[in-house]
Structure 1
Amino acid sequence: MLIKEISREECNQVVRAGHVARLACCKEGRPYIVPITYAFAGNCLYFFSMPGRKIEWMRANPNVCLQVEEFFGDRHWKSVLVFGRYQELPPEGQWHREHMHAWTLLERRPNWWEPGGLKPGRRELATCSSHVFFSVDIEEMTGRAAYDAEA
């Protein structure tokens, strides 16, 4: 197997082709990582979630990392790390346009809201909608690819 660095354009292609990333955040030196559905446009990734640990932790520390990957087989894959900053997109005020943009991008995917909108355990009716749209402004993106040495 051979491993090589991939270009920013190749990283963009991997992120553009995907729709689920692993989001890592950190609070008080303790890491937390979860899978999350995203949309990619410009230099941002857009997300939807219900309030919970990841939102609380990103509010406390907006520096995050995401990992997106493509697998073509055990010895042929691409993996991209995205480093950036969390930005909440409330539906009113200065972030209204970005909030609507995130919604428009995410709703293009079937059942886009389910991973961020469902919680484990018994389902109860919520008294109000407290969902959160947010973005991650990309500060750095790096990637690697593995290829079978015989190919």
Structure 2
Amino acid sequence: MDQRTVLTPADPAATDDDLATQPIGYWSGLAHRAVIGRIRDEMARIDVAQPQWWTLNRADAGDGPVREEVIEQLAHVGDGPQEIARAIDQLLHRGWLTIGTDHRLSLTDSGRTAKARIKQLVIDLRAEIHEGITDEDYVTALKVLRRMTDNVARQGAGQDR
């Protein structure tokens, strides 16, 4: 966007020609709410929460992490570390996770079955969400968002707060 572009208020009906003048906060927030809402609604239909899905994936990696490692690895994508701790507790209660004598988390047989079922749901949702979007366009969109995030972080790091 040219530095002289005149910005316009958020408008869900903005034409393609007007999109360069639209606020990123509005559009990224709209996309976030729509995508996360859809994923979480569909997961709820099979009695699973998104943090549980993330936790199953982390617990199934390598030799199995300890509880604190999973919490640390996922705190930035959840609504704080307590959300991940709750997911671990819920999965332990369901019998999808177990804690070994070495304090490492691992999936039980029922946890592996659940993970496979949830993975298929996630694959199907990804196809639905990405319908009409090429991999190239998707990568371009993510690169733009990553660049904007980096720009904001770099500008924020240079200011005393």
Which structure dedicates a bigger proportion of its chain to strand?
Answer: 1
Which structure dedicates a bigger proportion of its chain to helix?
Answer: 2
Q: Quick check: which has more Rg, 1 or 2? A: 2
- Identify the TM-score tier after normalising by the shorter chain: under 0.3
Give the alignment's TM-score, normalised by structure 2: 0.27
Higher relative contact order (CA 8 A, sep 6+): 1
